Amino acid sequence: MLNLSKINLADEAVAAIRQEIMAGRWAVGAKLPNEAGLSAMLSVSRGTVREAVRVLASQGFLETRQGSGTYVLSRTDAAPQLSAARRAGLRDQFEARCALDVEAARLAAQRQTPAVIADLRRLLAERGNFSGGDRQAFVARDLAFHRAVIAASGNRAMMEIYDFFSTSISETIEATIDRDVPEPDMQAHADIIDAIETGRPDAADAAVRRFMAPVLAALEEMLA
């Protein structure tokens, strides 16, 4: 029986199974014991085993075949490669978001009104800074602010594009909460509003690019 701490059981189960795979207990292509067998081997619940298998499958160690069982896919820790791929994906998402936000801000500067500016400032105040607590609520507030900047462009097609990619955009926001990339502060957000209020498209363009620059630079450094 494998030794397994009773603390943080899911994490410990992941570590224990991964260690056995890398030590050669099961060869690549071999079928693991069923859920009941792993549960007995690790002295944990079947629910904990399911979670551990799910994590290891996401890391590239295991493959679950419907109606057949769970098999060893690799003995190599793919986590570093997966992390790099995620960062590359984030960079692409941020670059696409920057292109959309820049053009929207330029149009918003041309079409801004006192009511639009007031609404942007209200949404920014409601956004606040993330200081723990409900992550999804914060992401929703931040998304609402940035969506309002897109709406201020007066371009319906841009709004539809933004809504279509809202899941991807939410991921970029959440990445800054996780500190994978630096989170632009309240002043960086306020600078976008101030630039739009000037009515000068170039100023709005520059404000968005300054907003995005630290994020993109951090991602490039991570990928280097």
Q: pLDDT tens digit string along 63-102?
A: 888 888 999 988 776 555 545 545 557 788 889 889 999 9
Q: Which CATH number fits domain 9-72: 3.30.1360.70, 3.40.50.12160, 1.10.1240.10, 1.10.10.10?
A: 1.10.10.10
pTM greater than the 0.75 cutoff: no
Residue 4 has pLDDT above 80, yes or no: no
Q: How many CA atoms lie within 13 A of 18 on its CB side?
A: 19
List every span in the chain annotated with CATH 1.10.10.10: 9-72
* 119 vs 138 pLDDT, higher one: 119
Tokens 């970029």 map to which residue?
Answer: 172
Cβ-based burial of 222 (10 A; exposed 0-12, middle 13-18, buried ≥19) = middle
Instruction: Delimit the CATH 1.20.120.530 region(s) of the chain.
Output: 79-223
3-state DSSP call for residue 152? coil
In degrees to the nearest 10, what's the CA dihedral of 209, 118, 164, 134? 90
Tell me the two tokens of residue 92: 């692409």
- pLDDT band with cut points at 50, 70 and 90 for residue 3: very low
CB contact at 8 A, 149 and 100:
no
Q: Crossing angle, helix 135-151 and helix 186-197, to 10 degrees?
A: 10
Place of tokens 């000068």: 200
pLDDT in tens, 173-197: 877 776 667 888 999 999 999 999 9
SS3 assignment, position 170: helix
Residue 120 has pLDDT above 80, yes or no: yes
The CATH classification of domain 79-223, taken from the options 2.40.160.20, 3.40.50.720, 3.30.360.10, 1.20.120.530: 1.20.120.530
Q: Is the pLDDT of residue 108 over 90?
A: yes
- Determine the straight-line distance between the first and last CA of the chain, rounded to whole angstroms: 43
- As given in the structure block, the two tokens for residue 58 are 């996401």
| Integer CA distances (angstroms), 216 to 72, 176, 201, in order | 37, 12, 22
- Residue with the larger pLDDT of the pair 106 and 75: 106
